[in-house]
Chain A
Amino acid sequence: MLGEGILKGMAETAKNFFLSYVSKERLTTVEYPEQRIPTVEAARVFPFLVYDGADWEAGLRCVACQICEKECPPKCIYIDKSKDKKPDYVGKQQFYPTRFDIDISVCMSCQICVEVCPFEAIKMDNEFELATDDRFGGLRYDRKQLARSNDYYHSIHPTEASEVDARLDEEKAKVEAKAKAAAEATAAKAAAPAPPAPPAGGGS
C-alpha cells in the first residue's frame, strides 16, 4: 500500500507521544533554569587556586613555579613571582605568586594546567554561569577571585580531593619523619661523650 512506511513512522511517533504521559524516561526535556541536571563530579569548566586553612593568602598552595603558564595551550595564565618566600604546608620556604591572572575568555578548559601542576595547587571548578557585562576586565580573574578553599574543593570533587589530601598527608609525613630522624641524629651527636684526651707524653 502506498504510504505504509509513512503510517508506520507516524504510529511510532504517536506511541512515543502518548507514552510520554505515562513513563518518565520518555520525557527528556529539562526546563532550565527552573530545573537543573545534577552536575557530574568530573565536570570541568575553569580553573581555581586551592588554599588550605582559613587565610587565603597564607594558605595558597601555589609556589609560582610557572609550569602551568608554560604548558597552557592558549597562554591565558599570567603569573608574577614574588621576591620573598613564605612557608608552605610542610613548613618549607617557597615563593608565592604576587599576580596570578587567568583570562577566562581565552581559557578553553582543557585541564592541562591541572595535569602538570606538581603542587596540587590549581584544580578545575564546575561553575559555568559566569556571564558578566564588563568586557574589559570582567573576564580576567585575579588570584583573589580564583582562590577557593580546600573545603570547597571537597564539596565539588569529593573523591579527587580525598586522594589529593591523602597524597599531601603522605608527603608531609615523609618530611616530618626525615626531620625527626635528622633531629635525633644531631641530638645523638651532641650527647655523645667528648673524645678522650691524648695520652700524656705521646707524640713527637
Chain B
Amino acid sequence: MNATETKSERLDGWNRPPVIAPDGEGELLEVAMGPHHPSTHGVFRMDLALDGERVVRLKPVFGYLHRNHEKIAEQASYLASMPYTDRLDYICSLTNNWAYALAVEKLAGQEVPERVQYIRVILGELTRIQNHASSIGFLLQEMGASGTPLMYAFKEREKILDLFESLTGSRMMCNYMRFGGCRVDVSATWLDAARKVVAGLPQFVDEFETLLSSNEILMARCQGVGILRPELAVNAGVTGPMLRASGVDYDIRKVDRYGIYDRFKFRVPLGDHGDVYDRYMVRILEIRESIRIVEQALNDIPAGPIMDPKARIRGFRPKPGEAYGRIEAPKGELGFYLISDGGPNPYRYRVRPPSLINLTVLEDMCLGSNVADVVLIFGSVDIVLGEVDR
C-alpha cells in the first residue's frame, strides 16, 4: 500500500462484487452490526449478509478493545500482572485473579492454606451468582424488557459488590488473590454480612423466576432458537453454561477438582436442547447451586493463616518450566498458560479466553435465523469484550 492508492482500493472487503441470493433473485444485504451497538455487549462487530431478514453469512470482527495484555505481562512482574487480570473479564474479576493465582502456584509448586481455599470458593461462587444474574438481565434487556429484570439482577449484584468492597477495597477491580494466599483476611463481621446477603438470595432467584421463566414472550423467542449440537460444541472448544446447555456433562469444578470443590455437594445442571432457553435455565439453576456451595463454605470455613509462609511478595522468581492452570469461570474455562525462564517476569503469558472460543460457533448457531434472533443468540453466549480482545 502506498500513498497514491485510492480510498476504495485500500478499504479492502467493502467493495466486493454483490453476492447473489441463494434463490437467484436479487442481492444480499451486507450489514455491519456494531461496533457502536447497544446490544453487542461491548465493541464487537458482526458482518452479516442478509437475505431479507434471514442470515446467510455472519463473520465476527473484534479487536477493538485489544490492549495486548499478554505483552504487558511479559514486561511486568508476576505480581504486577495481577491487577491487569482484573480487567480481562471485568465483571468477574475475582475468578480471573483465582485462575492466574492457580496457574502461578502450579508453576512454582506453592501450597495454599485451607482458609484461603474456603475464601476463594466463597468469593468465586458469589462472583458466579452476580455474573449469571447480570447476564440474564442483559439478555432480557436485549429482548425488549426495558430494564426491569436487569434492575432486579443489579439490586442483588449491588449487595454482593458491597461485600467485595468491604473486603478487597474495590467493587469490581478487586486484585485480591495472591500467589500462595490472599491479600487480607476475612473478619467475622464480613462473614456475618455475607451470610445475610446469601440468606436473601434464594428469595431473589424465586422472584426472578416468577418474573421470567414461564413468561410466554420469553419462551416463544428463546425456545428452539440458536440450537448448538453437543458434538459441535465439544469439537469447537465451547465451555461453560453454553456447553452444559447442550447436554454435555463437563464442569471443571467436578473434573479437575481444583481447590476444595470435592468437599462440597452440588449438582451440575444440564440442558436438553441446546437452545437459548436452555442456556437461560442452566444459568438460573447454576445460581441456585452456587448459593448452596456458598452456604456450605460459610459454615465450614476454618481458622488459619492466609498466606503460604514460604511465599514472597517481592522478588518472586519461579523456577524455569511451564504450567497451564484453568478454572471454571462463570463464562467457561478460563486458563492461563505460563512459561517461566527463571526471571522475575514471565517469558510467555497466555490467557485462554472462554468468551473468544465460545464465539467460534456463533455463525453456526445463527445461520438461517432472523436478525432479532441473532441478538438473542449472541446475548446467550454471554461474552465480555475485555476477555475476547484482552
Contacts and interface: CB of A to CB of B under 8 A. Distances in A.
A110 B173 contact: yes
Interface of B: 76-77, 79-84, 148, 155, 158, 162, 165-170, 173, 175, 183-184, 207, 210-219, 313-314
B210 A9 contact: yes
Main secondary structure on B side of the interface with A: helix
Contact of A110 (B167, B175, B212, B313): B175
A111 B84 CA distance: 13
Contact of A40 (B166, B210, B212): B166
A28 B153 CA distance: 12
Contacts of A112: 79-80, 83, 175
A111 B175 contact: yes
A73 B314 contact: no
A111 B212 CA distance: 41
Contacts of B175: 110-112
A73 B76 contact: yes
Contact of A71 (B79, B166, B169): B79
Contacts of B81: 73
Contacts of A44: 169-170
B92 to A, nearest CB: 17
Contacts of B158: 28
A73 B83 contact: yes
A71 B314 contact: yes
A5 B76 contact: no
B314 A9 contact: no
Contacts of B167: 42
A133 interface: no
5 contacts: A4-B216, A28-B158, A42-B166, A71-B314, A116-B313
Contacts of B212: 9
Q: Give the most central of A8, A13, A109, A112: most B CB within 10 Å.
A: A112
A8 B314 contact: no
A9 B80 contact: no
Contacts of A3: 216
A109 B76 contact: no
A167 to B, nearest CB: 15
B211 A109 contact: no
A12 interface: yes
Top 9 A-B pairs, shortest CB-CB distance: A5-B214, A110-B83, A73-B80, A44-B169, A9-B211, A5-B215, A42-B169, A40-B166, A110-B175
The range of chain A's interface size is 20 to 34
A71 B158 CA distance: 32
Contact of B216 (A2, A13, A28, A71): A2
Nearest to A13: B148
A73 B84 contact: yes
A176 interface: no
Given A5-B216, A8-B210, A112-B80, 13 more contacts: A5-B218, A6-B216, A9-B210, A12-B210, A13-B211, A40-B165, A41-B166, A42-B166, A42-B168, A44-B169, A71-B314, A110-B173, A116-B314
B80 A71 contact: yes
Interface in A1-21: 2-6, 8-9, 12-13
Nearest to A41: B166
Interface string A31-66: 000000000111110000000000000000000000
A57 to B, nearest CB: 28
Contacts of B216: 2-6
A156 B147 CA distance: 36
A110 B155 CA distance: 26
Q: Give the most central of A12, A44, A115: most B CB within 10 Å.
A: A12
A2 B166 CA distance: 47
A164 interface: no
A67 interface: yes
A111 B83 CA distance: 9
Interface in A144-188: none
Contacts of B211: 8-9, 12-13
B374 to A, nearest CB: 24
Nearest to A114: B169
Interface string A56-97: 000000000001000111000000000000000000000000
A72 B219 CA distance: 50
Contacts of B162: 40
B170 A43 contact: yes
A41 B166 CA distance: 7
Contacts of A28: 155, 158
A9 B215 contact: yes
Contacts of A106: none
Contacts of B84: 73
A42 to B, nearest CB: 5
A111 B313 CA distance: 13
B313 A6 contact: no
Contact of A12 (B76, B168, B207): B207
A102 to B, nearest CB: 15
Contact of B219 (A5, A8, A109, A116): A5
Contacts of B218: 5
